Amino acid sequence: MTKARRGESEFWRHRPVFVTGATGLLGSWLTEALLARGASVVALVRDLGPKSRLRQSGMESRVTVVRGAVEDGMVLERAINEYEIRTVFHLAAQTIVPIANRNPLSTFESNIRGAWNLLEACRRAPAVQQIVGASSDKAYGEQETLPYSESQPLQGRLPYDVSKSCADLIAQSYHRTFGTPVCVTRCGNFFGGGDLNFNRLVPGAIRSALHAEAPVIRSDGSLVRDYIYVRDGAEACLLLAEKMSADPAILGEAFNFSTEERSTVLQMTERILRLMGQGNLRPVVLNEARHEISKQYLSAAKARARLGWAPRYPLDAALTETIAWYREHFGRT
C-alpha cells in the first residue's frame, strides 16, 4: 500500500471524500493514497469488475461503495449530501479514444453529461469545499504551439477530445457563474499497475513481452505523447486539493501535470522491451490508427510555480514498478 509522508495525513484524516471512477486506473491509486492518509472514502462504482484493482487489492471492503453512474444526477446528489462529502475527485469517464471514435454518444453521455451532473450535485451540496475534475491533454486538441500551456484555447475536434474540452469548460463555467470550488487537472497518458485495458500501449506492450510476443502498435509509431505514472497522477490530485484549501485564489483554474519527457509510441515500446530484457522483439507496426493527433505534450511550468509540484518517479523507475506489477499479475518471472 502507498505510505503517506509525515504530515500529509493531517488534511485528509477522517475527511469525507467522494471518488468517481474509483475502479479505474487513476481512481484505484488515488483511493489507495486517500486510505493511507486516513480519509473516509465514498466510491462511486458503476460496474463491479472482479479483476479491478480496487477489488483485487481488498480496498473495496475499506470504502463505502455507492452503486451508480455519473449519468444519473440523483445518485450523485444523494451520495454527496448523505455522506456530507467535503472533497470530490471526479475521475469517471470513458477514456479509450478508439471507443469514442466508434461510439461517440456513450462517450458524450459519460464525459459531458457526467461532468455537469457532478458539478450540479456539488453546487447544491453546501458541505463540498473542493472539487478536482480530471480533464486531459486531449482537451487542447491540435495546436500549432507545443508544449501545451494552460493559456491555450481548448479546441478538441475528435469525439474524445471534444468530450474533454466540453467537460473542462463546464467546470470553468460553474466556477465563474456560481463560485463552485473546482479546479481541473490536465494530464497526458497514464500508465501503471492495475490497467487491464490491454489495447493501451503500456499494458499491451508489457503483456506481449511477458509472453515473448512482438508488441503491436496500431499507429505508424511516430505519434508523440506525454506519459505520466499513475502514482504521480494520484499525488497531483491530492496536492491540488490541499492547495485549493490553503489558497482560494487558485479556484477555477486548470493545471497541467507532466514529467515533460515526451516519447513517440515506438520509442516508448522499445523502452519497455529494453527494461524487460526483450530487446530482440521487434514491434509489429500496423499503421491503422486514424483520427488521432500526431503530437501532444504538456508544460508543467504553472504547476511547478503555483503548486510546488514535481513528479516523484523517473520514467524508467515508474516503468520498472509497472512491469513488476504485471509480472506478478500474470505469474511470470
CA distances from 277 to 6, 224, 270 (A): 37, 24, 10
Q: What is the dihedral of CA 287, 293, 294, 297, to 10 degrees?
A: -130
**H/E/C letters for each residue in 28-76?**
HHHHHHHHHCCCEEEEEECCCCCCCHHHHCCHHHHCEEEECCCCCHHHH
Tens of pLDDT, residue by residue over 52-101, are 888 888 899 999 999 999 999 999 999 999 999 999 999 999 988 888 98
Q: Who contacts 81 (Cβ-Cβ below 8 Å, separation ≥6)?
A: 124, 125, 127
* Cβ-based burial of 216 (10 A; exposed 0-12, middle 13-18, buried ≥19): middle
Cis amide leading into 50 (omega within 30) = no
Tens of pLDDT, residue by residue over 134-164, are 999 999 999 999 999 999 999 999 999 999 9
Q: Which residues pair with residue 228 across a beta bridge? A: 190
Cell of 29: 491509486
Tens of pLDDT, residue by residue over 22-49, are 999 999 999 999 999 999 999 999 987 7
Question: DSSP state, 295?
Answer: B
Task: State the residue for C-alpha cell 456513450.
Answer: 106
Tens of pLDDT, residue by residue over 244-266, are 999 999 999 999 999 999 999 99
Mean pLDDT of the chain, nearest integer: 94
Confidence of residue 202 (pLDDT cuts 50, 70, 90): very high
Positions marked active-site = 160
For range 279-283, the mean pLDDT: 94
